[in-house]
């Protein structure tokens, strides 16, 4: 039985993770932490599964002592605070927009404990990354363009995943991302320079997250696409990372490590 702690447990991802762990055969929820919101409330009741005897607490020293792995989906300040109070537990971090300080603290934790950090825990997106790397290298002369679509409330553009896809394509082609990637096009931009990689963001409605990568050449077009339909894929990916992590030595890993997609 893997004992898990969730930080950010009252949030959208946190509640989904708690519900999945409480229903899993091989996992137990050993701690659930968040800031003041719902403090003291039983987590089972919060996620609609009835009393489980696990109250929602503030992150504090000792609270994760019974945990094998702590999963953090909070805010960048939440990750920083977690690292202040965490013992020697393995850690899975899904929180995005980490500050330089929290990234450094995370690196320090990873020197003596296993850590998985990923901006996107969907297994499908991580396989897409790997496929894009391969396609970009195998089709070096094809024009590569990335389009991402997200809900109207998203505040950053392009998505971190679109950036990761563009970077993976640049790495595969051995080119400098700074000199290769363009963000959107407008006006008298002239003919498309060879090798350029375009990244475009569409916003609207409640789209959970679509990414498509097109490689075009005279006479053909290869399209690789991923569509997230809910947050379930992120939660399941984070739990997969937690299961994988318990047996691993100290170090900083990503979802490509978890899925065995490195160097293939
Ligand atoms: P949310 O706003 O619904 O939940 C965040 C929770 O964190 C809230 O309950 C909030 O009270 C809590 N929190 C804030 N500060 C805290 C602190 N100092 N200590 C403990 N808890 C604190 O957000 P969400 O949609 O659940 O997303 C959470 C994070 O996960 C965001 O950074 C989001 O971008 C990221 N995310 C990552 C992935 C991925 O695959 N890596 C997928 C979805 C979301």
150 is catalytic: yes
37 lines ligand 1 (CB under 6 A): yes
Three state DSSP letters for the chain: CEEEEEECCCCHHHHHHHHHHHCCCCEEEEEEECCCCCCCCEHHHHCCCCCCCCECECCCCCCCCCCCEEEECCCHHHHHHHHHHCCCCEEEECCCCCCHHHHHHHHHHHHHCEEEECCCCCHHHHHHHHHHHHHHHHCCCCEEEEEEEECCCCCCCCCHHHHHHHHHHHHHHCCCHHHHEEECCCCCCCCCCCCCEEEEEEECCCCCEEEEEEEEECCEEEEEEEEECCCHHHHHHHHHHHHHHCCCCCEEECHHHHCCCCCC
- Most ligand 1 atoms within 8 A of CB, residue of 74, 81, 161 to mutate: 74
Give the Å distance between the CA of 80 and the centre of ligand 1.
Answer: 13
Q: Which pLDDT belongs to residue 263?
A: 61
Give the Å distance between the CA of 11 and the centre of ligand 1.
Answer: 6
As annotated, the residues of the chain forming the CATH 3.30.360.10 domain(s) are 123-228
120 lines ligand 1 (CB under 6 A): yes
Give nearest CA residue, ligand 1 atom 34.
Answer: 96
194 is catalytic: no
Q: Which pLDDT belongs to residue 39?
A: 87
Both tokens of 13, joined, read 């991802």
Please give the Cα distance from 31 to 66 (Å, whole number): 8
Q: Which pLDDT belongs to residue 101?
A: 87
> pTM score, two decimals?
0.89
Which residues of the chain are modeled with pLDDT < 50? 264
Q: Which pLDDT belongs to residue 43?
A: 97
Q: Which pLDDT belongs to residue 84?
A: 94
Statement: 123-228 belongs to CATH 3.30.360.10: yes
75 lines ligand 1 (CB under 6 A): yes
- Most ligand 1 atoms within 8 A of CB, residue of 31, 34, 123 to mutate: 34
Which atom of ligand 1 is closest in space to residue 238's alpha carbon?
Answer: 40
Residue owning tokens 């991802």: 13
Give nearest CA residue, ligand 1 atom 12.
Answer: 8
Give the Å distance between the CA of 130 and the centre of ligand 1.
Answer: 26
113 lines ligand 1 (CB under 6 A): no
As annotated, the residues of the chain forming the CATH 3.40.50.720 domain(s) are 2-117+231-258
Q: Which pLDDT belongs to residue 90?
A: 97
Q: Which pLDDT belongs to residue 96?
A: 86
218: left (phi over 0), alpha (psi -120 to 50) or beta: beta
pLDDT tens per residue across span 236-263: 999 999 999 998 999 999 999 999 987 6
Statement: 2-117+231-258 belongs to CATH 1.10.3720.10: no
Q: Give CA 24 to chain center in angstroms.
A: 21
Q: Which pLDDT belongs to residue 67?
A: 97
């Amino acid at each position: 039985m893997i004992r898990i702690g969730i930080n950010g447990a009252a949030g959208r991802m946190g509640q989904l993770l708690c519900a999945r762990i409480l229903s899993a055969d091989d996992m137990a929820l050993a701690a659930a932490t968040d800031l003041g919101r719902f403090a003291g409330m039983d987590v089972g009741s919060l996620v609609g599964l009835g009393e489980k005897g696990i109250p929602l607490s503030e992150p504090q020293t000792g609270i994760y002592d019974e945990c094998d792995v702590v999963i953090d989906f909070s805010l960048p300040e939440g990750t920083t605070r977690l690292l202040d109070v965490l013992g020697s537990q393995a850690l899975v971090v899904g929180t995005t927009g980490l500050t330089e300080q929290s990234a450094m603290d995370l690196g320090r934790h990873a020197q003596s404990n296993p850590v998985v950090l990923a901006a996107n825990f969907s297994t499908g997106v991580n396989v897409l990354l790997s496929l894009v790397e391969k396609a970009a290298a195998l089709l070096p002369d094809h024009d590569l363009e990335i389009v991402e679509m997200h809900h109207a409330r998203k505040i950053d553009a392009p998505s971190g995943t679109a950036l990761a896809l563009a970077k993976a394509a640049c790495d595969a082609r051995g080119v400098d991302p700074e000199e290769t990637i363009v963000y959107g096009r407008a006006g008298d931009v002239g003919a498309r320079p060879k090798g350029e990689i375009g990244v475009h963001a569409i916003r609207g409605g409640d789209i959970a997250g679509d990414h498509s990568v097109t490689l075009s050449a005279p006479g053909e077009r290869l399209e690789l696409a991923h569509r997230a339909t809910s947050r379930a894929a992120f939660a399941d990916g984070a739990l997969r990372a937690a299961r994988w992590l318990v047996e691993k030595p100290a170090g900083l890993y990503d979802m490509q490590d978890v899925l065995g997609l490195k160097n293939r």
